[in-house]
A and B are shown apart, each in its own frame.
Chain A
Amino acid sequence: MSTGFVAETEFEKKRGVSRVEVRHGFAQVHVSRIPVNVMGERLKVLAAVAAVGISIDFLKLTPSGMSFVVPEPVADKLAGAIEPLGIHFSVRHDRSIVLVHAVSIRDEEGMIAGIVNTAITNGIRIDHVGDMHDRMLMVVQKEDGERLASLIAVTAAAREAQPETEASDAN
């Protein structure tokens, strides 16, 4: 038999943004102006990067190339690997990754668009956006990282302060 006393337990994380963090120390590489055989040339670049043991993140395809992110310390090594290919590329240094934690973020309809809009309307250039089941990731200039994090935190706190019935009306 049980004791008869069963304590209440808190369960799910609240909807919305639970935490924002900033990671510094990245560089973004842009490969562009590939005139023909774009996918073939992209693969050549990726092969050259893999050959020197560099892991890339946040690959995005563009009509005439692609962009991706690497840790800042390997940026020079990476440039050295791509240069011999004769393919046009540039490296943007001092990039930061802003991570916005929100459980089941994709189920929160409009949340990703809202966060992107917060950045854009505040003059912050986003180089890349990605998401996981419990977080969203944005690559921005280092100087914008902390500012974006606090803007998102302030917006989330304002939303949190809304009465619950308003939130339910919105749904």
Chain B
Amino acid sequence: MRIKVMKFGGTSVGKPESRLTSALRVISAKEQGYSPVVVVSAIGRKGAPYATDTLINVLREIDPTVEPDSRELDLLLACGEILSAVIFSHTLKTLGHSAQTFRGGQAGIRTDGVYGDARIVSINPSSIQRCLDEGKIPVVCGFQGVFAPVQGAPGGELTTLGRGGSDTTGAAIGAALKAEAVEIYTDVDGVKTADPDAVKEAPTLRKVTYDEVAEIAHLGAKVVHPRAAEIAMNYGIPLWVKNTFTDDEGTEIVGRERFPGRRVTGVTHTGKLVYLQFDLGCANDADRVMLESRIYQTMAKYGISLFMLNLSPSSTGFAVPRSQYPTVENVLDGLVIPVAGEEKRIYLIQIGQHASKEVETQASLLESFGEVKRVPAQLTEGCTMVSLVGHEYMQTPGLFLDVLTTMTNGQVTVLQTTDSDYSLSVLVPEADTNRAVKLLHDRFHLAEVR
């Protein structure tokens, strides 16, 4: 049996005509001798009636101040994929092909017990296999699984898989069934060298390695989630990214043994960051350690994702997603850090050039207790991390020089840099994002890459 897993994203199942196009691709695969297994996302993207965000808003609109229970939220969110899968199955039926819908649990997907961000622990694909044996097309709801809170308990608690959940479902089902390929269908031709909004001529890469695509996704490109790439890599399943609406051959994602990689694979960007740089110059060594500790302890406590982190003897800084900045501001601006002992020093964090009302109030209240030292944090709102992704080229002497010279000559201010084995990133003002991406794309001749 030649099994092919075909995962369709929101735009591929969002409208009747796009659903029909997707269904015809499944039928075409069957006619070519494959046994297709379909995995679907919820219908449509943000704003669509049954999209994930719309469903969340149904609860939020009741009372925005009351956080929905994560277990209940998962039950609600899973409805989006169930609806999508049932409609897709019926579409196949109307085209003369027998299909059967499976919720994540019915497909044998078992997860850990973390609602909203579960990890797949195991898959028993026997029900899907039986469906295939009967000549039907299984249509599996992406993004969900079940876990048993008590050994032997009936049913199972429904969980959703978090970011990249449906891609992960597709890759995992493919691995469990030893599929010949897993195809991720979307509305772009494949993995591109840059976001076409920034670089119109950005070509589609024909082959990339699992590591490259994982790093590209990590650094902002919405292609395949690293979790899906990791599963495909571990089980040696060829993974493809294809366009539902064109006949472009797409991008094949393979192991490094099959494709040694190229100098530079692409330029990605992840935006909407806020950069904070804390000036610790007012503190002695012992106090500085305490200040740093409180700052990072607070960030960890509130689950803040940090980017471009830097530490130096007189300062520390990081970027945070703009969506998390209100929390950061709430917990750090006006944070009082007293020093134990006889000296009675009190540190007070102040974000931004001008003190907020809260900081001023704190300062006047604290004056009677001892010396109040303000720790100013320079705030840069609206930043983007632009990254060059590649293989061994990252170790080439002069690469930082090349990137910084390109940015300087292009009059793009670089606020900070970071690098890893696969990437080199610069933090730039958001307004310069597309220019920075284009400058790097041109400098490394990515328009010629295939």
Instruction: Identify the A interface with B (CB < 8 A).
Output: 1-2, 4, 6, 8-15, 39-40, 42-43, 46-47, 49-50, 53-63, 67-68, 103-104, 106-107, 109-114, 116-117, 120-121, 123, 126-135, 137, 164-165, 167-168, 171
Given contacts A46-B404, A110-B304, contact A8 B123 (CB under 8 A): yes
A55 proximity list for chain B (CB < 8 A)? 395-397, 399
Q: Quick one: which of B116, B129, B226, B309 contacts A2, CB cutoff 8 A?
A: B129
A–B Cβ pairs within 8 angstroms, 10 of them: A2-B129, A8-B122, A12-B230, A12-B231, A59-B419, A61-B416, A110-B303, A113-B297, A133-B215, A133-B219
A117 to B226: give the CA distance in the assembly, Å: 26
Q: Are the CB atoms of B70 and A171 closer together than 8 Å?
A: yes
**B95 in contact (CB, < 8 A):** no
Report the minimum CB–CB distance from A109 to chain B (whole Å): 4
A8 proximity list for chain B (CB < 8 A)? 108, 122-124
Given contacts A107-B163, A133-B214, A168-B70, contact A120 B293 (CB under 8 A): yes
B310 proximity list for chain A (CB < 8 A)? 60, 128-129
**B302 in contact (CB, < 8 A):** yes
**Which single residue of chain A is at the shortest CB-CB distance from B401?**
A46
Q: Are the CB atoms of B300 and A114 closer together than 8 Å?
A: yes
B292 proximity list for chain A (CB < 8 A)? 120
Closest CB pairs A-B (n = 10): A50-B398, A133-B218, A113-B299, A114-B300, A109-B303, A46-B401, A117-B296, A113-B300, A110-B303, A132-B420
**B382 in contact (CB, < 8 A):** no
Given contacts A55-B395, A132-B421, contact A61 B305 (CB under 8 A): no
A49 to B299: give the CA distance in the assembly, Å: 36
The secondary-structure label for the interface of chain B is mixed
**Which single residue of chain A is at the shortest CB-CB distance from B159?**
A168
Report the minimum CB–CB distance from B135 to chain A (whole Å): 11
A14 to B312: give the CA distance in the assembly, Å: 33
Q: Are the CB atoms of B416 and A60 closer together than 8 Å?
A: yes
A170 to B124: give the CA distance in the assembly, Å: 28
B231 proximity list for chain A (CB < 8 A)? 11-12
**B356 in contact (CB, < 8 A):** no
Q: Are the CB atoms of B296 and A113 closer together than 8 Å?
A: yes
Q: Are the CB atoms of A43 and B304 closer together than 8 Å?
A: no
- Chain B: number of interface residues, binned into ranges: 35 or more
Q: Which of B25-33, B168-176, B338-346 contacts A (4 or more CB under 8 A)?
A: B168-176
Q: Are the CB atoms of A120 and B121 closer together than 8 Å?
A: no
Q: Quick one: which of B1, B227, B396, B420 contacts A137, CB cutoff 8 A?
A: B420
Q: Are the CB atoms of A54 and B397 closer together than 8 Å?
A: yes
A11 to B396: give the CA distance in the assembly, Å: 35
Q: Are the CB atoms of A61 and B414 closer together than 8 Å?
A: yes
B219 proximity list for chain A (CB < 8 A)? 133
**B115 in contact (CB, < 8 A):** yes
Q: Are the CB atoms of A110 and B301 closer together than 8 Å?
A: yes
Report the minimum CB–CB distance from B76 to chain A (whole Å): 16
A4 proximity list for chain B (CB < 8 A)? 126
A112 proximity list for chain B (CB < 8 A)? 305-306, 309
**B292-330 interface mask toward A, CB cutoff 8 Å, 1 = contact, 0 = none?**
110011011111111101111001000000000000000
Report the minimum CB–CB distance from A164 to chain B (whole Å): 4
A88 to B376: give the CA distance in the assembly, Å: 27
**B138 in contact (CB, < 8 A):** no
A137 to B420: give the CA distance in the assembly, Å: 8
Q: Are the CB atoms of B302 and A110 closer together than 8 Å?
A: yes
- Chain B residues 135-174 with CB under 8 Å of chain A are 149, 162-163, 168, 172
Q: Are the CB atoms of B296 and A6 closer together than 8 Å?
A: no
Q: Are the CB atoms of B404 and A57 closer together than 8 Å?
A: no
**B405 in contact (CB, < 8 A):** yes
Report the minimum CB–CB distance from B112 to chain A (whole Å): 6
**B119 in contact (CB, < 8 A):** yes
Report the minimum CB–CB distance from B273 to chain A (whole Å): 12
Q: Are the CB atoms of B114 and A104 closer together than 8 Å?
A: no
Q: Are the CB atoms of A113 and B306 closer together than 8 Å?
A: yes
A10 proximity list for chain B (CB < 8 A)? 121-122
**B52 in contact (CB, < 8 A):** no
Report the minimum CB–CB distance from B91 to chain A (whole Å): 26
Report the minimum CB–CB distance from A41 to chain B (whole Å): 12
**B125 in contact (CB, < 8 A):** yes
Known: A6-B124, A62-B312. 15 other contacts (CB 8 A): A2-B129, A6-B125, A8-B124, A9-B175, A15-B117, A46-B400, A58-B418, A60-B312, A109-B304, A112-B305, A113-B300, A116-B296, A133-B214, A133-B219, A171-B116
Q: Are the CB atoms of A43 and B397 closer together than 8 Å?
A: no
Given contacts A43-B408, A120-B289, A128-B310, contact A110 B417 (CB under 8 A): no
A57 proximity list for chain B (CB < 8 A)? 419
